[in-house]
Structure 1
Amino acid sequence: MILIVDDSPENIISLKKVLEKNNFEVDTASSGEEALKKVLKNSYVLIILDVQMPGMDGFEVAETISGYSKAKETAIIFLSAATPNINLITRGYSSGALDYISKPVDMNILLLKVKTFYRIYEQSRALNEMQTKLLKEIEYRKEAEKKKDEFISIASHELKTPMTSVKGYLQLLERSINKGETENIKTRIHKVQNQVEKLNLLIADLLDISKIESGKLMFNMKYFECSSLINHLLEVMQQANPQINFVVENKVNQEIYGDEMRIEQVLVNFITNAIKYSPGTHEIHITSEIRDHQLYCSVRDFGIGMSEEHQKKIFDKFYRVEESSERFQGLGIGLYICREIIERHNGTIGVKSILDQGSEFYFTIPVNPVNIEQN
């Protein structure tokens, strides 16, 4: 917007008419005092300022405006009926003006100057926006680098832990074999298998994250029996966790379109997390039903829960709740992979949680195919 400041109504009307005819938004002030009030309230790209005015002259107005942080980027063109001389021009520039035009004003020259200042303003604004964007990207690169380093450190630790356990159990197993301790052999083989399974899951997650980054996470989309998937999954989970009472509410009696293996992967992650983050409790609720042509599945625990702040970030890559990272193992990528899987099914994923009262993780996907990516 352009502000015209002149004590002559005729000058204001003629300038305003020409500028508005050329699609410029114009505001006016008939005195220096009025101009200063308007500059404090509004933002102007350019001020066309008459020098000879009663009260505050144009030089005084310009000097005052130059002290306003809000008007730091505002250009000023002086208009003067007096014959220009070196002293007037010097004072004009030292007051903060960028140009000086004598009256009577040649409208073609004024328009040329106004268009030039607008072009400079637009270019300056574009450069500032680009600089701001680049600074944000640099900060994001720095943050990503920090997260990557943290992830490598965590991954190394998480992989080392089961490997160390496997090595220790194998040494104990060798002693038991030498002594012929049948029961100990069975127990230690089972423990080795558990640690190997942990390694398999960690490696699978690392491979999946790599495939997601390269856009190569594959999906085998077809209709499958959701009830059968849940029943089979819970049978396996119950054997591995006999202390847990799984309370199941399964109302799905139709086939669902999707990648059965990937949906099972999401549910396994939900249930595994529910067990992990609810130590001392022995009940987990699993619900599946059809809502508005969408499959709705949820897993609810009665464990440590989380704050609203953590709920907003829990599906982000490499995110781990700091308060629980010391107590519970994990790479911080499982839920991120789940989010990618559900979003690739054109579904939604989320969590409801209350600190110290438990969490309910859920997802929805369309029952029938809706523009789902195949690879």
Structure 2
Amino acid sequence: MILIVDDTPENLISLKKVLEKHNFEIDTASSGEEALKKVLKNSYVLIILDVQMPGMDGFEVAEAISGYSKAKETAIIFLSAVNTEFKFIAKGYSSGGLDYITKPVDMNLLLLKVKTFYRIYEQNRKLNEMQESLLEEIEFRKEAERKKDEFISIASHELKTPLTSVKGYVQLLERSVNKGDIETVKKHLGKAQVQLEKLNGLIADLLDISKIESGKLKFNKQHFAIDCLIDNVIEVMHQSNPEFKVHKKGSAGCEIFGDEMRIEQVLVNFLTNAIKYSPGTSEIHLTVNVNEGALYVAVKDSGIGISPEQLPHVFDKFYRVEETSQRFQGLGIGLYISAEIIRRHGGKVGVNSTYGEGSEFYFIIPVDSTTEV
């Protein structure tokens, strides 16, 4: 937008008409004081400023405008019929003006200058946008590098922990075998098996994320009984976590077209997380229903919950909630993989949570998904 400042109404009207005819948006002010008030409220690409005005003259207005951080990049063209000597023109430039035109105004010359300033403004705007975009991209590279280093550190630690445990149980097994203590051997074998399953799960997650990144995560879709799958998963969860009771509410009552193994992976991830992040509790609630051709499954716990500012990031790759990263093991990729599985089924994942009271993770997928995989 262009601001024209002149105390002569005829000049304002004629300049305004000419510039509007060439599709420029125009605002006007009839005094320096009015111009300053408008500059405080609005943003202008260009100010066409009469020098000789009662009260504040054009030079004083320009000097005041240059002190506003919001307007110091605004171009100023001075117009003057009286002060045409070199010393006044020089003063105009030193006051912050970028050009000085004497009256009577050559409208063709003024239009040429206005178009030039607009073109320069657009070029500068684009350059600034490119610079900001580049800076954002650099910061995103830095953040990605930091996350990668953090993930490598976490992965190394998480993989080392079960390996160290297995090594310890093998040494205990060796001693127990030599003593012929079969009961102790069975106990150590069971504990070693648990650690090996943890290790296998970590490696499987790493392989899955590698396949997602390379576009090679494969799906084997077919019709299967989702209610049967959910019941089986709940039974397995109870066997491995007998202190927890999973309360199931509702049923699908139909078959689902999808990858049964991958949907099971999502269910196991949701339930495992619900148990992991609910210390001191003993109940999990699972809701399932079908509405308008879509399957809805939700897992709700009464655990530690998630703060509002962290909720948008829980399905991000490598994201781990800060206050839980030291208390709970994990690579921070299970939910990311789950979200990708559901997306590839044409569905969506989500979470509702109240910090300190618990979380509810859910997914929705079409009963008959035709999404390409």
Q: TM-score range by the shorter chain?
A: over 0.9
Cα distance in structure 2, aligned partners of 1:95 and 1:356: 60
- Amino acid paired to 2:236: V
Which amino acid letter does the alignment assign opposite residue 101 of structure 1?
A: I
Q: CA separation of 1:8/1:233 partners in 2, compared to 1, >3 Å: closer, same or farther?
A: same
What stretches of structure 1 of length at least 5 have no aligned partner? none
> 1:250 and 1:54 mapped to 2: Cα distance?
81
SS in structure 2 of the partner of residue 97 of structure 1 = coil
| Contact 2:49 2:79 (8 Å CA) reproduced | yes
Q: Provide structure 2 residue ranges, at least 5 long, that are not aligned to the other structure.
A: none
- Cα 1:232–1:134 shift into 2, 3 Å: same
Separation (CA, whole Å) in 2 of partners of 1:101 and 1:154: 67
Instruction: Tell whether 2:29 aligns with 1:14.
Output: no
Residue 354 of structure 2 corresponds to: 354
Cα displacement string for residues 129-151 of structure 1 (whole angstroms, at most 9, x for unaligned residues): 22222222222222222221111
- TM-score, normalization: structure 2? 0.95
**Contact residue 83 and residue 89 of structure 2 kept, 8 A:** no
Residue equivalent to 2:138: 138
User: 1:80: Cα distance to partner?
Assistant: 1.4
Deviation (angstroms), 1:227: 1.4
CA 1:61–1:280 in 2, change beyond 3 Å: closer, same or farther? closer
Matched residue pairs, number? 373
Secondary structure of 1:217's counterpart equals coil
Cα shift readout 1:238-289 (whole Å, capped 9, x = no counterpart): 3222332222234111111222111111001011112212223322222221
Alignment of 1:218-237 (within 5 A): 218-237=218-237
Distance 2:47 2:308 in 1: 49
Summarize deviations over 1:199-248 as a string: whole Å, max 9, x none. 11101111111222222222222322111211222232232223322222
Alignment-derived partner of residue 306 in structure 2: 306
Structure 1 Cα separation of the partners of residues 233 and 72 of structure 2? 66
Runs of 4+ aligned structure 1 residues displaced above 4 Å come to none
User: Which residue of the partner structure matches residue 373 of structure 1?
Assistant: 372
The question of whether the paired residues in 2 share the 8 Å contact of 1:9 and 1:30 is answered with yes
The residue type equivalent to 1:237 in the other structure is M
Which residue is equivalent to 2:322? 322
CA contact 1:304–1:357 (8 Å) conserved in 2? yes
For the residue of structure 2 that corresponds to 1:192, the secondary structure is helix
- Find the aligned partners of 1:264 and 1:276 in 2 and give their Cα distance: 18
Per the TM alignment, residue 365 of structure 1 is displaced from its structure 2 partner at its CA by 0.8
RMSD: 1.6
Q: 1 CA distance for matches of 2:134 and 2:335?
A: 30
- Residue 33 of structure 1 and its aligned partner are, at CA, apart by 1.8
What TM-score results when the alignment is normalised by the length of structure 1? 0.95
Identical aligned residues as a percent? 72
CA distance in 2, matches of 1:54, 1:289: 77
| CA deviation after TM superposition for structure 1 residue 317, in Å | 1.7
Match of 1:247 in 2: 247
Report the Cα distance in structure 2 between the residues aligned to 1:366 and 1:28, rounded to whole angstroms: 59
